[in-house]
Structure formats: structure tokens, C-alpha cells
Structure 1
């Protein structure tokens, strides 16, 4: 094994959080949603980039200290706030398909199958380090990091997804306990919050208002010579075209979106569906906010503990 899959996966988990999806039953929202209270807006469940960077770097530093006590090295790159901001914007792209200026600059965005970015400096360092260890030491390194295979695990059952397991032994578990205090509550809350996207999207997709807005969009692009039922179909087609043809298609799609109010409708319904999800999972949402806020407060009060 020349690369630790668990370590690499967890490093990305720290930087970007879990991008899980879930399938849950919920009632379709009203076509004209009421204003969403500030306390339940979608952004309240998305930590600011600066907060995510602070928590990720603190956790990685704790992991490194734990591994050092056991005679092992652990490598990580400091979180890039600008990269995290860009990632957050990309995750909201589906809500802003009416951004005509962006369509002119970027088309529909990265094409499906775009190669993953190259390994980071820390990943390259880790690969070299692990290659230099004997098989026995490499196994001991992974056990120190993730705990033994027979350990008891925190199991979080997410409706429509299955059970997500978190280690209770090893340096990652130790770091999360030190950082968040109630590690089991944090694991459950974090898993649920980052698994909310599919139930929210499915509730929006069932809405008559969303279907009607999408149908209006389809009629608009058809009048411009493009026969697509949904923006996904247009994006898929654009992925097969050269840029000089893909960008005009994306611009036409965005202009029609703005003209018929499809993304505006989508954003309103998305807020309402997120509020509904938060009401169904009030405990997890509250724990997510509280435990992360408490961890940040402790870090800022005691910077030497990072």
C-alpha cells in the first residue's frame, strides 16, 4: 500500500465536510413560500469558510500531536480559505443558473469527468513517508490514526442512506473528542447536516411550482432552437460541444432562466425545504451549530491549544 486511503479521505472530509446525500419523506412545499426566518436559512447549516479552516487546521494539528506521541509523522496542508469559499460557491451553483455573466465566462462550469486535482504537498509527503515504512510499521501507523479494526464505532443511521460509522479509537477520534467535547453528538449532527441535500432537493423537485418553472424554462430555450426539458439535459449536451458552441448554449439557458424566474423559484423553495428539514431534525441541527460554535470559542480563547 503506497497511499493511505483512510487518511486521504479523512483529510478531505475535514476540509470540505461530508458530501453525503439522503432520501427522506417530506411534504411538498407551497408554490409561494413565506419568507424564511433567519434562524433556519440554508446558510445557517453551512459554516463560513474561515470557521471551516480554523476547525480543520486545529483538528489536523491535534492529530499530528497525537501521532507524534506514538512515534509517527502526520502531514497536512493548512486549509485554504479562498479554496473553501470557491467550493461553497460551486455547491450552490444549481441555485444560481440565472447568472448570465458567469455563463458567459464559464459556460456550464467544469465538464463531467474533469480530472481530479493533483496530490497536495502533504499528500506527496505522506506517500513518500509511508513508502519508507515496513509493512508492519505502516499497519501500526494506520492503527494509530484510525484505531484497531475491532474497536467500537459510533454508528449514525441516516434515513435513505444507511449507517455511517465513525471511529472511537485512534488519533482522529482523540482529536475530535478534544475539539468538540461530545464527539458522539458531533458525529451524529455533522453526518445528518451534510446528508440533507438529497431530501431537500427531492422536496423541491416534487413541488408544482418548481415543475412549472422548469417547464417555462424549457419552452423558452425551445423557442431559441434548443430542445431540452431540464438544465441538466442542456449541461450534458454542452459537455459534448466545443467551447465556442457550449458557452452560447449556457448563456441562452441562463437568459431563459432569468426571464422565467426558474432559479428564483428554486431558491425560494430550497429555503423552505431546508427549513422543513431543520424542523424534522431540530436536535441534529441545533447540536451542529452549538458544538461547532463552542469549539470555535474555545480555540479563540486558547490559541495555544491549537
Structure 2
């Protein structure tokens, strides 16, 4: 059975000659849900949030560091359906990028700096950053039940308010948008058109010497192989990862798997417009607002 999905991640270019017909949605359905931000736009918002937070913390008398370990191309997300052959040829599935990011997190100077402060200053740092222990708690109900909570205040709230206008509404609607797939995942996994596209992808992969039933299985196998070979054979592991990733992306293009997955996911999300349409529109509007603010705060990464 298919392992799904966030079948697609915004911003990954889709191209290539289609061997499998791509099902068309109606113009009305395509207009129902506004297009999400691209990954490049979302990354710029993240960078702007860091810049605004740093500026605010500096005004409060504290050091603060922005994290920009990865360049723009390295920051490219690896969605369930990855069809960027050039990127795969350079980075595989991003295994080495993950290692680079993990090392950067381990060396993050903010935690070290905070721990170096005397107790009173450390408490003041926390209050300046997010309001401290007495800050308000935002609650976002999830579409399938349950809720997510987060503390907000201080410089974090100031930065979010500058970009989104209403941090509470952004938090609430973003959790709806990002977790809506829980309501249609089962139907999507059983969707005939997606299953046919995945079978075509799998046949293509088998011809390439990569016998996997779906992209997640291919990716998992590459990860297991890297772990098995260890650091002593890291170059060999990465070569194998790249070979599988290139075949994966090539077959995704040849079978139009990404286009089919996007179309079918759009179809199932559109069926929930009567319940969540207003929230999704607000999510899109606030995200676009944030991006339009971000372009005046930080440049795009190199």
C-alpha cells in the first residue's frame, strides 16, 4: 500500500514529458483553494522571523544569532514525490544536508549563550524571547481532533505580529492547513489514479534496477544503507543514495507522478472547503502578507 503523503511540497518544479495522462480538475475546483506559498517564499519568511527576533533581542541587551547554515539550493525540501533530477544528482535525498543541519543545531550558540548567563539574566532572556513562564498560551484545534499549544510573547510575538499581523490567527489556521491531510489520507491512499501512477513509477524504477513499490520505500532503503555502511564507507553510501534518488526523480518525471499526486490531493482538499475554506483562505492571506513584509527585511539566500 502507498505510504502517503504530504504527496507534494510547495515550490518543487515539475517538468518533463508525461507518459501517463494527468487527470484534470475543473477550473472551478482549481480556483477553490489559493495556491500555497513556495518553499522559497516560506524560507524567506523564516529568515525574516529570525532577523526580527535578533533585532528585538539586541534591543533588550542580549546577543542572538540567526541560523543560515544551508544555502538556497541546499534548503530545497525533499517531498514525497521528488522529480528534480539535477538536485538529486547533486544531493541525493539530502542525507548529507541533514547531517550538516544536525551539526549546526548541536553547535547553535544561542543555547550555550543562554546557559552562560547568571540565573537572573537567564530568566530575563527567556522573558525577552517568548514572554517567559507567564506568557499567554495559544491553542489551535486540529481538524481530526486534539489540539496544539504554544507559548507566545516577547520578541517572538513581536516578530510574528510584524509579519503576519495576527499571530494567534496565523497559528490557528496554519495548524488546520498543515494537518488537514489527516481527514483525507485514507481516501488518498486508496485513490485509483494515484495508485496507477505509483505502479507506473515502480515499473520504471524496476527497469532502472531499483525495485521499490513507492518513493518512501526507496528513500527508506537509502537511509538504511547509509546507516549500515557507517562513516567509514560514507562516500560509498552517498553514491548509492544518489543513484537511487536520481532514478526516483527520473521515474517521477516520466510517469508524471508528482502532477497526479498534486491533482488528487487538491481534489480531496477541495471536498473539505465547506468546513475549512475560510480558514484556508485566511492561512493563505496571512502567509502572503508575511512574505510581502519579509522581502523588505531580508534578501533571499544565495
> TM-score higher than 0.5 here?
yes
Matches within 5 A, 1:87-166: 87=75, 89-91=76-78, 93-97=79-83, 99-110=84-95, 114=99, 116-119=101-104, 123-124=108-109, 126-160=110-144, 162-166=146-150
Q: Which residue of 1 aligns with 2:11?
A: none
Q: 1:287, CA displacement in angstroms? A: 1.6
SS at match of 1:165: strand
Aligned-residue CA RMSD in angstroms? 4.2
1:281 aligns with 2:276: yes
Contact in 2 for aligned 1:146/1:172 (Cα 8 Å) = yes
Output the CA distance in 1 between the equivalents of 2:152 and 2:279. Answer: 20
Output the CA distance in 2 between the equivalents of 1:51 and 1:258. Answer: 25
TM-score by length of 2: 0.66
Output the CA distance in 2 between the equivalents of 1:236 and 1:150. Answer: 43
Q: 1:163, CA displacement in angstroms? A: 1.8
Output the CA distance in 2 between the equivalents of 1:138 and 1:228. Answer: 51
Structure 1 range deviating more: 228-237 or 293-302 = 293-302
SS at match of 1:119: helix
SS at match of 2:133: coil
Q: 1:142, CA displacement in angstroms? A: 0.9
2:62 to 67, 73, 77: 73
TM-score by length of 1: 0.65
| Structure 2 unpaired stretches of 5+ | 1-5, 7-21, 227-235
SS at match of 1:154: strand
Number of corresponding residues: 266
Contact in 2 for aligned 1:50/1:81 (Cα 8 Å) = no
Output the CA distance in 2 between the equivalents of 1:165 and 1:189. Answer: 13
